[in-house]
Amino acid sequence: MEQKEAMYFTSIKDSEGNAFDGNCTYHLEGSELNARWWSITAYSIYSELIENPEGRYSITKNSVIRKEDGSYLTVISPSKQEGNWIAVKKGQPFELTARLYNPASSILKTQEKISLPKITKKACS
């Protein structure tokens, strides 16, 4: 598809440059992505959705719980969390893909400057 229809961004590393590790908990913090619809989904390194009983594979423009200022915090962890949570599998590496459908023209013009959520490692077990 053309970029004005959809843009995908995949991350395999946290903000420190370390590969995502299913033994760790991460905080994904960001603000509204400027597109008609967006989602952020976790995948195994084999491009498969990660099995979890609650079916918490992603956050989306429709499902994410926002703070008063419009920003959001999502916990990425193998253990169940309250609020925004993307489940990953303990002991397994993973990837995150952001999908933006009909991104705003400002993103198309300066896509290298797009403000994607920050993903910070918090604790490992």
Chain positions contacting another protein, by CB under 8 A: 1-2, 5, 36-37, 39, 41, 43, 47-52, 55, 57-58, 60-63, 97, 99, 101-102
**Residue burial 18-27, b: 16+ Cβ < 10 Å; e: rest:** eebbbebbbb
Residue 15 or 97 with smaller CB distance to another protein:
97
Q: Is there a contact between 121 and 83 (Cβ–Cβ < 8 Å)?
A: no
Query: Nearest distance from residue 26's CB to another protein, in Å?
Result: 19
Q: In sequence order, which residues have a C-beta less than 8 Å from that of residue 2 and are 6 or more positions away?
A: none
Query: Nearest distance from residue 2's CB to another protein, in Å?
Result: 7
